[in-house]
Amino acid sequence: MSAAPAPLPTTAAAGEDALPPARRRLAAGVVAGAAGAVLLLAGQAWLFNALAWVNREPLANPEWGINYSCNYAEYLLLEDPTRGLGPVPDDRPGRVQWCADTFARLLDVTGARHVRLSVEWDQVEPREAAFDFALVDALLATAEAKGAAVLLTIGIKAQRHPEYYIPAWAREGTELPEGATVTEDELLRVRALRMVDTVARHVAPSPAIVAWGADNEPFVPSGRANHWRIGEDFVAEEVRIFREADARGRPVIVNQAQHTLWDRYEQQRDWILAHADGLAISFYPRRNHTILGWDLVVPIPELAPVHPNYAAHAREAREAGRTYWITELQAEPWADRDMHLISPQSPSPNLGPGDFDGVVTYARRTGATRVYLWGAEWWLYQQERYGDARWVEMGRELLAGE
């Protein structure tokens, strides 16, 4: 009887036998080298961020304030679809008093002593040459009564949606295509400068105003309004108007927004430092991004290679004899859903109470001497709608310097 044949080698064994020792060592070396390269890159990225300005710059102690928009307060407190409440008209009786009372309540609950307000063109000049100063006068009077100092922004662009508050009559006869520098339209330019001059001269006597804002992010293309922007020559005219209208010589601030190094900014920053008394920025540290199908909240200041060095910009401003402020610091979620639906039971992953201190730390490391928090109206909404006073309490503690 013949012997049984030897068993065939397994696939693994056959593969090992088929690969010569020298080639096995080469393959192992390639794998080890690739792993080492990945670890080295990860280590370099960690070190780069650890040494970046957001983790290394000293912590400044700026003055803290808030932004206030009556439109946004109305949207949150009066136009709540979760309670069956629809839009409220801007010409309703009692609106001016409601806006001023809500502003007063917000100042009371937060203790804010610095506030940024915007004059909306369609509110202050609803018909050509027919000015209505009731709202701006009421807000300035409220600030004065509460001891709050106002940075007042006047121009074509203002806080919050839709940013460009151009009244319908001022659009007549103009051409404002997608991506336009709107102030290149001569008719709109003349109308807008007349409005800025009239408003500035009217409010200049107010002791509540401590600084002027020449438009709101004038050089940033608006994603809400056809990617329009405002020209440098127009902003220069606004700066001139404020200085002529203001016998007290209060500073003129121009603000900008730059989230990554790819945003156009350097030329405009140099222009601001040359023409205004102060440079300001909008700073939103936590952004939503979808990467490979995953929805992520990215703390963009930690991405040192692509994030602007705000601390260096602050030093440039000081060296030029200019102030450096943050006119919008994210203090509410940057949400992809209706803000009414964010609650203690359904929080936003973008920004929660536990993230507040981190955002504040980023702002302190910029070296800004004044910071206006963005979202105080939403804090009030959370307290009044959901009984969640955490946001108001955090804001009050910060504004009090605690």
Share of the chain above pLDDT 70, in %: 87
pLDDT of residue 293: 83
Residue 143 one-letter amino acid: A
Query: What pTM did the predictor assign?
Result: 0.88
User: How many Å apart are CA 68 and CA 143, to the nearest integer?
Assistant: 11
Q: What are phi and psi of 64, to 5 degrees?
A: -115, 145
pLDDT of residue 87: 93
- Categorize the per-residue pLDDT at 26 as very low, low, confident or very high, splitting at 50, 70 and 90: low
User: How many Å apart are CA 302 and CA 189, to the nearest integer?
Assistant: 41
Q: In this predicted model, what pLDDT tens digit does every residue of 162-195 receive, in sequence order?
A: 999 999 999 999 999 999 999 999 999 999 999 9
User: How many Å apart are CA 106 and CA 392, to the nearest integer?
Assistant: 9
Name residues whose C-beta falls within 8 Å of residue 29's C-beta, 6 or more positions apart in sequence: none
Of 86-100, 197-211, 250-264, minimum mean pLDDT range: 250-264
CA atoms within 13 A of residue 297's CA, in its CB half-sphere: 13
pLDDT of residue 206: 98
Q: In this predicted model, what pLDDT tens digit does every residue of 293-325 receive, in sequence order?
A: 888 898 888 887 788 899 999 999 999 999 999
Q: Answer yes or no: is pLDDT of 285 > 80.
A: yes
pLDDT of residue 13: 46
Cα–Cα distances (Å) from 74 to 54, 80, 86, 241, 276, in that order, read 36, 9, 11, 31, 33
- Categorize the per-residue pLDDT at 261 as very low, low, confident or very high, splitting at 50, 70 and 90: low
